[in-house]
Structure 1
């Protein structure tokens, strides 16, 4: 055992023990966090506007602070960008995380001195909990890579601003700097394809042991490594033993990634966002991600079907139920208050509190009242594909309403490794599974309102070419799985596989 793993193993054990203790007091920690947030928040402009001085209970808080999205927060953010202090949180943020919104254009999410450590410490906790369970800290003796955006930051209102993944690069502790690849210069390259080539140059001869990133971009990295070396990734990097991923559901990419590696390696799922690091996989033995209940984030949960209602039901952790689809609402020590982050989750356990991410509040299809969500689509497609030994590279789904006298349907744009010989039969099988998962969708087909879904095969690398065409190739960017309109679908028609 080498020096770093020798030191990491007992430290990992201490962190894992701390996490286990926090599991037992999650509800109490959440109640304390709300009070702590209000204590600081009442000195801010937002706190004065919402009379934080008079808030003593969660019920008071719900009455005083409505759920907001970015557009409704924007006036406060604009004041911070003008250089004003004590607007959403004390002082000013130390960073803005710059992210793209589906309706708001570019969003600037504050990261404060109080919140920034939780972004790194939570990823550390995820790795250390799994290292302790696996009994193997050897990943720290080799090289690690996080496929991320550029760490170069601009200034907006005097505040360093960039992608969350780029900001996170500035938080890597000194003891890991010598392990980290690629070089700073390579990480600063904006063009993803150029950057990826340089990353391969710098890592192909190294002892890579931990690889982290969004699954589709990890797959592109693996594809280039294999093309250059002629070897599976696991043979090229024989000591590679931890894969850390987040940003999108792992299941559609899992089989191909492990195929590319040539063997299974422990995979750790994380749920980070610009607004906070919400949950992480703490164990290889249990389903779901452990909710991050003691990290400066107060969680609220709204039944997903009510999130856009005028007076939605809002509950705290102690009242959640297993299996219910909730929209996630957060108040944080970065100065977000009852903020709808746009993600939906389900609890798979309440002892401890573990979740799975089920989709996006704005990424669904309900052109006819069916309200099909991402979890249902992904499970239907990937379940049938797995049962038929079919590999899926990427996909997106949209409604098709105007169809020249035919009944409308859901149109699925799917990039296969190899298109099934009986594509119509495959599509029908997927449709039947989806009907079992969503009774509203089933009713619409039974009532001849819709016809069964249709699959349009996308040519090889079609989704990559689409992302390149809109300037979103690489980094933390991802293709929405579901759209309730035809904007993405119309673009994807340009990348259909020739017949």
Structure 2
């Protein structure tokens, strides 16, 4: 055992034990976080405007602070960008995490001095829990790569601003710097394909033991490695043993990634967001990700079907139930207040609180009242593909309302490694699976309101070429699984097989 893995062993045991204890008092921790949030927040412009000094309970908090999205937060962000202090949180943010929104353009999410450790420590804790549970520490002595955005930061209103992954890169512990690849010069390259080629050149001869990133971009990295080295990833990196992933559901990408690797490796799932590090995989024995209940974030949950209602039900952690689809709301020590981050989650356990991500609030199809969500689409497609031994590279779904003949329907754009021989049969099976999972969709087909789905095969690398064409190749950019309009669908028509 080498030096770093030797030091990691007792630290992993300590952190793992601490997290195990925190599981037992998650509700109490959440209540304490809310009280601390109110205590600090009442001294801010936001807090005075919402009379937080009169708020003492969660029920009073719900009355005083309405749910909000970025558009409703934006006036406060603009004041911060003008150089004003004590707007949403004490002082000024340490950073702005810049992220693109579908309706708001670029969003600037504050990260405070108090909240930055949520992002850094949680990523660390996910690795330490893995070490403690499995007893595997040796990867800490090898080279690690985190496929991320550029760490180059601009200043907006005097505040360092950039992609979350780039910001986090500035906080990699010094003891890991010698293990980290690529070089800072390569990481600062903005063009993703140029950067990727340079990453391959820097890593192909190294002892890579851990690789981390969003699955589609990890796959692109693996493809480039194989093209250059002519071997499977396990042959190029014999000691590669841990793949850390997040950002999208991993299962659609698992078969292709494992094939590229040349065999199974351990995986660790994380749930980071610009607004906060929400959850992480703490165990290989249990389904779901452990909610981060003691890291400066107070969580609320709104039944997904009510999220656009005028007065939706708002639930604290102790009120949630398993198997229910919730919109995720958070208030944090970065200065976010009852903020809808746009994700939907479902609890698979409440002892402890573990969840799975089911999709995006705005990424659904309900052009006819069916309210199909990403989880249903992914499970339907992957169950049929898996049964037929097919590998799906990428996919997205949109409604087709205006049709020249026949009935409206859902249009699926799917890129396969090798397309089904009988596309009609494959499409029909996927449609049947979706009907089983969504009774509203089934009712619409039974009532001859909708026709069965139509599946279009996207050519090899078509999704990559599409993302390149819209300037969203690489980094944290993802293709939405579902759209309630046809903006993406019409663009993808250029990339069909």
- TM-score band by shorter chain is over 0.9
| Residues 1:267 and 2:267 aligned together | yes
CA offset digits 1:429-474 (Å, max 9, x no partner): 0000000000000000000000100100000000000000111100
Shift of 1:263: 1.2
Structure 1 counterpart of 2:411: 411
Q: What is the rounded CA distance, in whole Å, between the counterparts of 2:430 and 2:313 in structure 1?
A: 33
| Residues 1:436 and 2:402 aligned together | no
Structure 2 counterpart of 1:80: 80
CA offset digits 1:10-62 (Å, max 9, x no partner): 10111111110011110000000000000000000000000000000000000
| Residues 1:366 and 2:329 aligned together | no
Is the contact between residue 96 and residue 160 of structure 1 (CA under 8 Å) also seen in structure 2? yes
Shift of 1:230: 1.2
Secondary structure of residue in 1 paired with 2:114:
helix
Structure 2 counterpart of 1:233: 233
- The ranges of structure 1 where at least 4 consecutive aligned residues each deviate by more than 2 angstroms after the TM superposition are none
Shift of 1:99: 0.1
Secondary structure of residue in 2 paired with 1:251:
coil
CA offset digits 1:372-420 (Å, max 9, x no partner): 0000000000111011100000000000011113100000000010110
Structure 2 counterpart of 1:49: 49
Secondary structure of residue in 2 paired with 1:456:
strand
Q: What is the rounded CA distance, in whole Å, between the counterparts of 2:264 and 2:461 in structure 1?
A: 25
Structure 2 counterpart of 1:68: 68
Which residues in structure 2 correspond to 1:91-240 (within 5 Å)? Answer: 91-240=91-240
Structure 2 counterpart of 1:375: 375
Is the contact between residue 412 and residue 455 of structure 1 (CA under 8 Å) also seen in structure 2? yes
Shift of 1:330: 0.1
Which residues in structure 2 correspond to 1:287-306 (within 5 Å)? Answer: 287-306=287-306
| Residues 1:397 and 2:386 aligned together | no
Which residues in structure 2 correspond to 1:244-283 (within 5 Å)? Answer: 244-283=244-283
Is the contact between residue 12 and residue 131 of structure 1 (CA under 8 Å) also seen in structure 2? yes
Q: What is the rounded CA distance, in whole Å, between the counterparts of 1:108 and 1:194 in structure 2?
A: 27
Q: What is the rounded CA distance, in whole Å, between the counterparts of 2:365 and 2:492 in structure 1?
A: 17
Task: State the superposition RMSD in angstroms.
Answer: 0.5
Q: What is the rounded CA distance, in whole Å, between the counterparts of 2:8 and 2:433 in structure 1?
A: 46
What runs of 5+ residues in structure 2 fail to find an aligned partner? Answer: none
Secondary structure of residue in 2 paired with 1:347:
strand
Secondary structure of residue in 2 paired with 1:394:
strand
Q: What is the rounded CA distance, in whole Å, between the counterparts of 1:314 and 1:459 in structure 2?
A: 44
Q: What is the rounded CA distance, in whole Å, between the counterparts of 1:183 and 1:292 in structure 2?
A: 31
Which residues in structure 2 correspond to 1:341-356 (within 5 Å)? Answer: 341-356=341-356
Shift of 1:235: 1.4
Structure 1 counterpart of 2:469: 469
Q: What is the rounded CA distance, in whole Å, between the counterparts of 1:194 and 1:134 in structure 2?
A: 37
TM-score using structure 2 length: 1.00
Q: What is the rounded CA distance, in whole Å, between the counterparts of 1:86 and 1:93 in structure 2?
A: 9
Is the contact between residue 266 and residue 284 of structure 1 (CA under 8 Å) also seen in structure 2? no
Which residues in structure 2 correspond to 1:314-353 (within 5 Å)? Answer: 314-353=314-353
Shift of 1:231: 1.0
Secondary structure of residue in 2 paired with 1:269:
strand
Q: What is the rounded CA distance, in whole Å, between the counterparts of 1:460 and 1:235 in structure 2?
A: 25
Structure 1 counterpart of 2:451: 451
Structure 2 counterpart of 1:422: 422
Q: What is the rounded CA distance, in whole Å, between the counterparts of 2:480 and 2:451 in structure 1?
A: 23
CA offset digits 1:289-340 (Å, max 9, x no partner): 0000000000000000001100000000001000000000000000000000
- Total equivalences in the alignment: 497
Structure 2 counterpart of 1:492: 492
Shift of 1:284: 1.2
Secondary structure of residue in 1 paired with 2:244:
strand
TM-score using structure 1 length: 0.99
What runs of 5+ residues in structure 1 fail to find an aligned partner? Answer: none
CA offset digits 1:145-186 (Å, max 9, x no partner): 000000000000000000000001001000000000000000
